[in-house]
Amino acid sequence: MKTRITELTKRALCKWGEDIQFTIAMEEAAEFIQAISKYQRYGDKYALASEYADLTIMMEQIRVILNDDELLEKWLNYKCDKMDKILDSCDYGELPKKDC
Ligand SMILES: [Mg+2]
How is the chain classified by DSSP, letter by letter? -HHHHHHHHHHHHHHH-HHHHHHHHHHHHHHHHHHHHHHHHH--HHHHHHHHHHHHHHHHHHHHHHT-HHHHHHHHHHHHHHHHHHHHSSTTTTS-----
62 CA → ligand 1 middle, Å: 16
Q: Which residues are in the CB-under-5-Å shell of ion ligand 1?
A: 28, 31, 51, 54
Greatest extent of the chain over all pairs of C-alpha atoms, in Å: 51
Please report the pLDDT score of residue 97 as a whole number.
63
Query: Where does the pLDDT of residue 30 fall: very low under 50, low under 70, confident under 90, or very high at 90 and above?
Result: very high
φ and ψ at residue 93, rounded to 5 degrees? -60, -25
Domains and CATH numbers, the chain: 2-88 (1.10.287)
Query: Where does the pLDDT of residue 90 fall: very low under 50, low under 70, confident under 90, or very high at 90 and above?
Result: low
Please report the pLDDT score of residue 98 as a whole number.
65
Q: Rounded mean pLDDT of 44-69?
A: 96
What does the alpha-carbon distance between residue 9 and residue 82 come to, in Å, rounded to a whole number? 30
37 CA → ligand 1 middle, Å: 14
